[in-house]
Structure 1
């Protein structure tokens, strides 16, 4: 964990020195948002589908935290490829707690709204 924070600090410092603005997702060090390759302005989104895996990282190789269902609500922070790092804004239909962070494929979202 100490190495991950150091890497995040070095990355942030390098981007600031290069003149690039960096915006980090909330709890980046704690929840693997550091694997994001691009940032998004915070957006609300709804899940489009049933039994969608809510993963610990941005690919199917990561374990599932549980399932998401139609209209479960998320906040989108950043992404990697076609995966978004998100937080549940309300308890999911499967029982995942509001405030749970995870990854979902972008094509599993019904809408993005600022």
Structure 2
């Protein structure tokens, strides 16, 4: 609430792990299977923070929407160290 007015978050607002509905005890590191967007929220309506190209490792912390979207940290590449959301269709387990 700002000045007595309720303000709702828009898709442009970053959404972190608080949006997760599943948190595994120990999730495996994954790799992007193709070039995919790293988004600031769990939907294509959120903006892209950058791209993960095929083979980039991503360490998922949690997921949302029945494992459709994963929130985690990029482990290498141009966006190394960034946190964001990746569509699970474009990730595969890697150890």
**Aligning the two structures, in what range does the TM-score lie when normalised by the shorter sequence?**
0.7 to 0.9
Q: Does 1:104 align with 2:86?
A: yes
Higher helix share: 1
The two structures have a TM-score, normalised by structure 2, of 0.75
Structure 2 segments unaligned to the other structure (5+ residues)? 1-13
Q: Does 1:88 align with 2:74?
A: yes
**C-alpha separation between the residues in 1 aligned to 2:75 and 2:22?**
21
Deviation, structure 1 residue 38:
0.6
The two structures have a TM-score, normalised by structure 1, of 0.63
Counterpart contact for 2:15–2:41, Cα < 8 Å: no
RMSD of aligned residue pairs (Cα, Å): 1.7
**C-alpha separation between the residues in 2 aligned to 1:32 and 1:63?**
13
Counterpart contact for 1:31–1:101, Cα < 8 Å: no
Question: Aligned pair count?
Answer: 79
Structure 1 segments unaligned to the other structure (5+ residues)? 1-29
> Corresponding residue for 2:32?
47
Deviation, structure 1 residue 42:
3.1
Deviation, structure 1 residue 110:
2.4
**C-alpha separation between the residues in 2 aligned to 1:67 and 1:31?**
18
The structure 1 residue matched to 2:51, chosen from 46, 64, 67, is: 67
